[in-house]
Amino acid sequence: MPRYFFHVTHERREIDQEGEELPDKHAAWKEATVTAGQILQGLDGKLKPGHDWRMEVTDEFQQTLYVLHIQAERPNQ
């Protein structure tokens, strides 16, 4: 089964060294969205304007398959 990696950047880059074996890239997308939601919820309000959050999903060859990007910004007032 292929292995997928979920690298997260928020204030610093956290490289997923273990990855997860999943049946295909569609399962990796589902895992990414569920995990991203859990991580964002766990930030407990600490995501601030000007500090983006990003998850990069790569395959076992470190080719990027998906990117989830939350851009936190304060609109011009």
Question: How much is the mean pLDDT over the chain?
Answer: 93
Predicted TM-score (pTM) of this structure: 0.88
Token pair recorded at residue 2:
């292929």
Give the Å distances, CA to CA, from 50 to 11, 54, 71: 10, 13, 8
Give the pLDDT band of residue 61 (cuts 50, 70, 90): very high
Which stretches of the chain are assigned E, i.e. beta strand? 3-10, 12-14, 20-21, 53-58, 64-70
Q: What pLDDT, in 10s, does the model give residues 22-55?
A: 999 999 999 999 999 999 998 887 888 888 999 9
Residue whose C-alpha is closest to residue 35's, from 60, 11, 18? 18
- Which whole number is the average pLDDT over 47-65? 93
Higher pLDDT, 73 or 63: 63
Q: Among the residues of 1-77, which ranges form H helices?
A: 25-42
